[in-house]
């Protein structure tokens, strides 16, 4: 790998990662509010030092860490957090240092004038966000398909099951997923480093556009709102049906009492 070329690789987990607890098992790591990172020695003498970035929203990014060493670091992470489950969502980005007036993305490669630790942090955060986004996109797509089946059943039968507890759980899952996307991923929050360096600000904008983060985030929000609204309507239908049955039951009880009263009179 040329000295001016860097490879970033990120993958997502199903679970979130509490950085404060994890820091106890990685004493060499540097911890920020939303990032824990540490250096990885170069694979070859004279090679570039790698770095690992861990994020609380359940993603890990690597800079210049070969695949075998990545597996070793992941094994170390799983040993510290045994509950981690691979989400099967990954992202990769190549960065090339070259003389340029401003950062640019060409044919999937980010080109910038120089790589600094803060800039590496911005790149790592962005590809980690994209990997986490892919995981949430799959979850929301499954929820959307499940909602479609429920709505299609309502359309075909004109009614729904009287059991509302599964609907309540499903609505709770949709709400929790939406809150997690909004509150944990911070997908639209600009990294702190980008405020102090116009070059990093440009890097973040270029990467955000390359991975289409804003539009993907908007699509997630729209789908989650649609799922919640559809489930709310289905729940209203189920409740109305239960109310009708309750009213019918009350009427039948009243009629039964009238029959008993007439029977005693006669």
Mean pLDDT throughout 27-32? 90
pLDDT of residue 134 exceeding 80: yes
pLDDT for 2 equals 46
Whole-angstrom distance, CA of residue 37 vs CA of residue 244: 59
**C-beta separation of 2 from 94 below 8 A:** no
Residues 105 and 160 occupy one common structural domain: no
Which one has a higher pLDDT value, 130 or 228?
Answer: 130
**C-beta separation of 104 from 111 below 8 A:** yes
Tell me the percentage of the chain whose pLDDT exceeds 90.
Answer: 25
Mean pLDDT throughout 185-210? 74
pLDDT for 45 equals 66
pLDDT tens across 55-110, in order?
Answer: 998 999 999 999 999 999 999 999 998 889 999 999 999 999 888 767 888 888 89
pLDDT for 115 equals 87
Mean of the per-residue pLDDT values of the chain: 83
**C-beta separation of 38 from 30 below 8 A:** yes
Residues 21 and 95 occupy one common structural domain: yes
pLDDT for 162 equals 63
pLDDT for 189 equals 66
Residues 53 and 160 occupy one common structural domain: no
Predicted TM-score (pTM) of the model is: 0.79
pLDDT for 47 equals 66
101: left (phi over 0), alpha (psi -120 to 50) or beta: alpha
Domain boundary among 87, 114, 141: 114
Mean pLDDT throughout 109-135? 89
Q: Helices marked H in 24-66 — which ranges? A: none
Residues 107 and 212 occupy one common structural domain: no
User: Strand locations in 5-163, DSSP E?
Assistant: 5-13, 30-31, 36-40, 50-55, 59-63, 86-97, 104-106, 109-112
> Is 13 inside any structural domain?
yes
Mean pLDDT throughout 243-266? 79
**C-beta separation of 9 from 73 below 8 A:** no
Residues 140 and 242 occupy one common structural domain: yes
Residues 94 and 159 occupy one common structural domain: no
**C-beta separation of 63 from 55 below 8 A:** no
* 11 CB neighbour count, 10 Å cutoff: 24
Residues 137 and 234 occupy one common structural domain: yes
């Amino acid at each position: 790998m040329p000295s001016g070329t860097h490879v970033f690789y990120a993958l997502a987990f199903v679970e979130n990662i509490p950085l404060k607890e994890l820091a106890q098992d990685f004493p060499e790591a540097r911890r920020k509010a939303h990032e824990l990172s540490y250096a990885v020695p170069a694979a070859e003498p004279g090679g570039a030092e790698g770095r690992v970035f861990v994020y609380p929203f359940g993603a890990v990014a690597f800079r210049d860490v070969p695949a075998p060493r990545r597996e070793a670091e992941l094994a170390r992470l799983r040993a510290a957090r045994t509950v981690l489950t691979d989400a099967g969502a990954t992202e990769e980005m190549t960065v090339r240092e070259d003389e340029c007036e401003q950062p640019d993305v060409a044919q999937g490669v980010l080109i910038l004038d120089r790589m600094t630790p803060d800039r590496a942090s911005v790149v790592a955060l962005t590809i980690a966000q994209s990997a986490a986004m892919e995981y949430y996109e799959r979850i929301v797509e499954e929820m959307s398909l499940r909602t479609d089946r429920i709505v299609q059943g309502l359309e075909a039968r004109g009614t729904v099951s009287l059991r509302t507890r599964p609907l309540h759980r499903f609505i709770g899952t949709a709400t929790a997923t939406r809150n997690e996307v909004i509150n944990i991923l911070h997908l639209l929050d600009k990294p702190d480093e980008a405020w102090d360096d116009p070059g990093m600000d440009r890097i973040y904008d270029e990467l955000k556009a390359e991975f289409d983060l804003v539009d993907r985030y908007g699509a997630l929000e729209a789908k989650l709102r649609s799922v919640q609204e559809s489930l709310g309507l289905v729940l209203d239908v189920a409740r109305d049906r239960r109310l009708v049955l309750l009213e019918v039951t009350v009427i039948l009880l009243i009629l039964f009492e009238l029959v008993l009263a007439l029977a005693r009179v006669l």
